[in-house]
Amino acid sequence: MATTLTSKGQVTIPKRIRDALTSIAKMRRTLVNLLLLSVSSLTGLLLILWALPHLRKPALKLTDYDDLVIFAGHRGGGHLRESIDQVVQGERAGMSVHWRTDANGFRVDQETKARAPPNVRRILLLGDSYIDGMRTDQRFTIGAELQRALGAGAEVIIVGHNNPANAWYWLQNQSAAWHPDDVVLGITLGNDLTFQNLGAGLQESANGGVELLDESLLDGNPAWRASALPAQAYLPRSNLALSTLRFEFHVRHWLAARAGMFGQLPAPETGPELNAPGRFFDRDMYTGLGLFARQQSAFIQASYRANRATLAGIQRLLSARGVRFTVLVLPVRIQVNPTDWARLLRQYALNPDAFDLRAPNAHIKASCAEFRIDCLDPTDALIAQYQKRASALYRPRGDMHLNEAGNARIAAELARHLEEDRGAQ
């Protein structure tokens, strides 16, 4: 039907066309409303994420791990402070966990006597913050989980030491007073190797033991300078690509800091040196990446030699006393979670072919085999646990430490290993 003019000069539009125009107008309004809703929802979400930390009540200042340890060679109970029974800083701000040590500084629930009760197997569990249970409740440390798994026939005592050489010195001078049946030394495949002090605060003595040189260097020697990994450790990246990476990981850390649901977004923590794409240092307190480099620096080679000497010295000492010695390998997160490894590679533009993620494991196993030391490496078990459940075994925001699920898995593997070893004797 043609369009016509009415007597008043108005245009008459056919109904089909009017309906079509009305539908188009409604669709346009709907699309605009949807777009506005999407923008407002995204803006709202970002505002909520930004506001979350500000909406919480101010958290009380809690005692944190650094205030619970003291590095001193003469201490009878390792590096943990004595007689603590309080809540301390947990995994995130405002979260508290229970921490208890006895009068000796052992992290246990009861006061430790000189000897275990009759027919009870006493196990001294030595190690750094992995074993101490940094920011972990008393119930969920590796030691507590191991105690539950072994039952009343065993007594597990956590003795804190920030590196294996310090553990050797304590075992030599203090452990006989506690009459252990077993000593289990946890070695973290990161700072336990790169922040040793054999050759600084401690040195091998002429009689095959270890002696204290400088108590101020029991946490490592600051004069040992880190060196950057060689050129083949990096992949070429354009300036634009590097800028994009920096922005991406800035956003990842921003989200992780403001909402727990994004806690696993960042790459694993590194430091204390300021690592960057194209410049990553071998001496790393958290990830220990220099230990995995195929082309090892002089410092890493020296670290491996010091660890070998330490394991040999501990085995000589404990074997002479009739004490069973077990080395427990504690893997870092890049060895367990492929996503963590991929994020570290991406953030720092690293070349994966320049690294061997089992290099420190192989070193420790070779040293244990050489000196006939019992050794447990639960890395494969942790990988299987991660693949089975695809859940986090390490703490959020790139923290190097195992979480409660990781502690439980390590303890289960160690309990099985100790029971099998005891049954074979």
CB 94 within 8 A of CB 139: no
- C-alpha 380/C-alpha 400 separation (Å) is 18
> By three-state DSSP, how is residue 213 classified?
coil
Q: What residue type is assigned to position 391 of the chain?
A: S
Q: Which DSSP string corresponds to 301-347? A: HHHHHHHHHHHHHHHHHHHHHT-EEEEEEE--HHHH-HHHHHHHHHH
Residue whose C-alpha is closest to residue 181's, from 303, 3, 321? 321
- C-alpha 279/C-alpha 269 separation (Å) is 15
Cα–Cα distances (Å) from 421 to 326, 376, 416, in that order, read 10, 11, 8
**Three-point CA angle 283, 359, 160, nearest 5°:** 60
Tell me the Ramachandran region of residue 159: left when phi exceeds 0, alpha when psi lies from -120 to 50, beta otherwise: beta
Residue whose C-alpha is closest to residue 141's, from 108, 112, 113, 167? 108
| pLDDT given at position 321 | 98
Tell the residue number behind the tokens 């690592």, with chain if given.
Answer: 275
The domains of the chain, with CATH numbers, are 65-232+270-424 (3.40.50.1110)
Residues 6+ apart with CB under 8 A from 354: 229, 230, 232, 233, 293, 294, 295
| pLDDT given at position 3 | 44
Label residue 360 exposed, middle or buried (CB < 10 Å: 0-12, 13-18, 19+).
buried
Task: Enumerate the β-bridge partners of residue 124.
Answer: 157, 183
| pLDDT given at position 235 | 95
Residue whose C-alpha is closest to residue 280's, from 235, 229, 246, 230? 229
What average pLDDT does this structure show over 374-383? 98
CB 202 within 8 A of CB 187: no
User: CB-side exposure of 206: number of CA atoms within 13 Å?
Assistant: 0
What spatial distance separates the first Cα and last Cα of the chain, rounded to whole Å? Answer: 103
| pLDDT given at position 282 | 92
Banded model confidence at residue 108, pLDDT cuts 50, 70, 90: very high
- C-alpha 155/C-alpha 150 separation (Å) is 8
Whether the CA torsion 411, 111, 311, 130 is positive or negative: it is: positive
* Choice between 240 and 412, residue whose per-residue pLDDT is larger: 412
Residue whose C-alpha is closest to residue 406's, from 224, 171, 203, 188? 188
Cα–Cα distances (Å) from 424 to 168, 417, 419, in that order, read 27, 11, 9
Mean pLDDT score across all residues of the chain? 89
CB 155 within 8 A of CB 116: yes
* Choice between 32 and 105, residue whose per-residue pLDDT is larger: 105
Q: What residue type is assigned to position 254 of the chain?
A: W
> By three-state DSSP, how is residue 125 classified?
strand
Give 288-333 pLDDT, tens digit per residue.
Answer: 999 999 999 999 999 999 999 999 999 999 999 999 999 999 999 9
Q: What residue type is assigned to position 12 of the chain?
A: T
CB 79 within 8 A of CB 71: yes
Q: What is the DSSP letter of 174?
A: T
Give 199-210 pLDDT, tens digit per residue.
Answer: 999 999 999 999
Tell me the Ramachandran region of residue 88: left when phi exceeds 0, alpha when psi lies from -120 to 50, beta otherwise: beta
The Cβ of residue 326 has, within 10 Å, a number of other Cβ atoms equal to: 21
Q: What residue type is assigned to position 415 of the chain?
A: A
Residue whose C-alpha is closest to residue 98's, from 142, 137, 59? 137
| pLDDT given at position 205 | 96
Q: Does residue 56 surpass a pLDDT of 60?
A: no
Q: Does residue 31 surpass a pLDDT of 70?
A: no
Give 124-173 pLDDT, tens digit per residue.
Answer: 999 999 999 999 999 999 999 999 999 999 999 999 999 999 999 999 99
Residue whose C-alpha is closest to residue 327's, from 140, 147, 187? 187
